[in-house]
Every structure is written in C-alpha cells, then in structure tokens.
Structure 1
Amino acid sequence: MSRSGQPPDLKYMDKKLQIKLNANRMIVGTLRGFDQFMNMVVDNTVEVNGDEKTDMGMVVIRGNSVVTVEALEPVAKMQ
C-alpha cells in the first residue's frame, strides 16, 4: 500500500517476469497476483536450471524467498 492507502499501480500484472529465488533457483512466468508481503501467484511457470527447464504450471511464491524480479517484456512508465 502507498502512503495514501491506495494500492500501488500494478504495472507488472500479466507481464512475463524472471524471478531469482534463494537457494540459487530461477523461474520465469507470468505474474497473476501479489500481496503486501510480495507473495506472488505466477502462471505458466518454468524453472530454469542451466540448460534444463521444468514446466511447473501455476505456483505461489512466498515473498521472503524472492531475491530479484526482472521484467522480460515492456511495462508501462511511471506517471
């Protein structure tokens, strides 16, 4: 939540993201939702481990396991 009590602009919703997790894990998928703790629902998820890729479908990622989030497609600019 922002200081005004309004939720932040969801410019990353429905965008393809690369998410680095602790324990040196990496996933790629489409963000479908998140909460104030950065728990995320990610759809069409693929875990990437070197050249090996594992389809995982829709997953829930706990916010405290997220190290970095990178958008893999353009997102709207801040206004």
Structure 2
Amino acid sequence: MSKVQAPELKKYMDKLLFVNLQGHRKVSGYLRGFDIFLNLVLDEAREEGTADKVECGTVVIRGNSVTSMELLAAR
C-alpha cells in the first residue's frame, strides 16, 4: 500500500496565489491552509472575471477542481 503525501505547499503559505479552476474560473488570494487532497483555504480571495473582480473573503477550494496555481507575490 502506498503512502499518501501532502503537497509541498508550505513555502506558499501566506503568499498571494492565482488559482485556475475547472470551468474556466480563476481565483486569487492568500494561502492560509491546505490538506493532502489539495483542498485550499484562501483569505482575501477574489474571483477574477473578464471585466470585474468579485471580493469573496475567505474561501475553501476543493482540490479536484484546481487545474493550476501560480505565485503572484509575497506579503
């Protein structure tokens, strides 16, 4: 039986991430937590739209909907 390992995201804690999701949705926010399934907790999150950005506050994103992540800036 293989052991499940947590993703290597500790170095991104408290940093601003841009997350691409399935369904062509995009969210940015500060990474506050994660688990072995790549579920993410983002603070000060905003959904990035074509014309405007919607403030969301703190959000939990299911790991199976994440297609890619990009580091935007350190705080």
Using the size of structure 1 for normalisation, the TM-score is 0.81
Percentage of matched positions with identical amino acids: 46
The aligned counterpart of 1:49 is: 49
Q: Which has the larger radius of gyration?
A: 1
Aligned-residue offset at 1:51: 2.0
The aligned counterpart of 1:66 is: 66
Q: Runs (4+) of structure 1 moved beyond 6 Å?
A: none
The within-5 A match list for 1:1-79 is: 1=5, 8=8, 10-73=10-73
User: Which structure features the higher share of strand residues?
Assistant: 2
Kindly provide the amino acid, as one letter, of the partner of residue 54 in structure 2: T
Structure 1 unaligned spans of 5+: 75-79
**CA 1:51 to 1:9, structure 2 compared with 1: closer, same or farther past 3 Å?**
closer
* Local SS of the residue matching 2:12: coil
Q: How many residues align?
A: 70
User: Which structure features the higher share of helix residues?
Assistant: 2
Using the size of structure 2 for normalisation, the TM-score is 0.85
Q: CA RMSD in A?
A: 1.7
Aligned-residue offset at 1:9: 6.3
